[in-house]
């Protein structure tokens, strides 16, 4: 299912970006910033001892970066399309959290304990609808020296989780999940040179990955959570 979805996204990107018309403004962006991922439960289903939940797990701040390529149309100068690549790494650091569940053979219960460290990386690929408002237009800047903009679209997320320094899981036994999520962004671009713009952007991304790991007894464990990330980005945009 994941491979089929990736193929569809790539095909859509090629269709909307292929065949450059004479009337279009193309752009290529690079960006980097800091991402904050909301705390969320880490749900477990150990085939050996049963289901449980680590409550309100915190994710570390992460460096975020990526790039975007697309075009705006002369006939609809407020509208554009783009393809976007975005990376972040919301690690789970050592922390004490509440654990509750029903475990064999001890029954149901709750307690507090350490969760250890998990290394996580997230790569996302999206096809975006771009909407902008050209301001301060001039012959030197026909599309406006200042451009507030919005971007929204479905995204394909490729997420990898690897336990490190944990007692409950086999360390370095990682797994990769491919899931569909969403992305929405708002930003402001300002012209600084004839074909260059600087921009700041806030983006929100959401995905619900599901991993399969192994516990210390090599039983399979399904691990799932929600990744809701808020990211502040600074970037450079080339226009032609």
Task: Provide DSSP, 52-93.
Answer: EEEEEE----EEEEEEEEEEEESTTTTEEEEEEEEEE---B-
- Average pLDDT score over residue span 74-99: 92
From the list 185, 193, 184, the residue with the least C-alpha distance to 236 is 193
CB atoms within 10 A of CB 106: 9
Rg (CA), the chain: 22
Q: Measure CA 65 to chain center.
A: 10
- Greater pLDDT, 204 or 218: 204
Where is average pLDDT lowest: 2-11, 46-55, 142-151, 211-220?
2-11
pLDDT surpassing 90 at residue 47:
no
Residues 6 or more apart in contact with residue 103 via CB below 8 angstroms: 46, 49, 50, 52, 109
Q: For residue 23, what pLDDT is reported?
A: 47
CB atoms within 10 A of CB 17: 17
Token pair in block for residue 220: 């399979």
Structural domain boundaries in the chain:
2-239
Q: For residue 77, what pLDDT is reported?
A: 86
Where is average pLDDT lowest: 26-30, 47-51, 212-216?
47-51
Topology given in CATH for the domain delimited by 2-239: Porin (2.40.160)
DSSP string of 169-235, one letter each residue: B-TT--EEEEEEEEEEEEEEEEEEETTEEEEEEEEEEEE--EEEEEBTT--EEEEE--EEEEEEEEE
pLDDT surpassing 80 at residue 133:
yes
């Amino acid at each position: 299912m994941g491979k089929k979805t990736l193929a569809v996204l790539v095909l859509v990107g090629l269709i909307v970006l292929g065949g450059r018309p004479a009337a279009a403004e193309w752009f290529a962006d690079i960006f980097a910033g800091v991402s904050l991922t909301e705390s969320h439960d880490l749900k477990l289903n150990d085939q050996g001892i049963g289901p449980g939940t680590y409550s309100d797990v915190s994710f570390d701040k992460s460096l975020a970066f990526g790039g975007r390529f697309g075009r705006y149309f002369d006939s609809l100068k407020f509208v554009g399309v783009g393809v976007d690549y975005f990376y972040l790494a919301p690690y789970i650091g050592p922390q004490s959290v509440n654990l509750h569940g029903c475990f064999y053979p001890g029954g149901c219960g709750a307690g507090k304990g350490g969760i250890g460290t998990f290394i996580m990386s997230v790569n996302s690929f999206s096809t975006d609808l771009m909407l902008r408002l050209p301001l301060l237009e001039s012959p030197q800047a026909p599309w406006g020296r200042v451009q507030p903009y919005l971007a929204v679209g479905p995204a394909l997320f490729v997420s990898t989780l690897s336990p490190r320094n944990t007692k409950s899981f086999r360390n370095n036994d990682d797994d990769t999940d491919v899931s569909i999520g969403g992305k929405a962004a708002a930003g402001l671009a300002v012209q600084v040179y004839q074909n260059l713009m600087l921009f700041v952007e806030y983006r929100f991304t959401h995905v619900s990955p599901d991993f399969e790991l192994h516990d210390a007894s090599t039983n399979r464990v399904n691990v799932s959570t929600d990744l809701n990330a808020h990211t502040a980005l600074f970037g450079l945009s080339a226009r032609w």
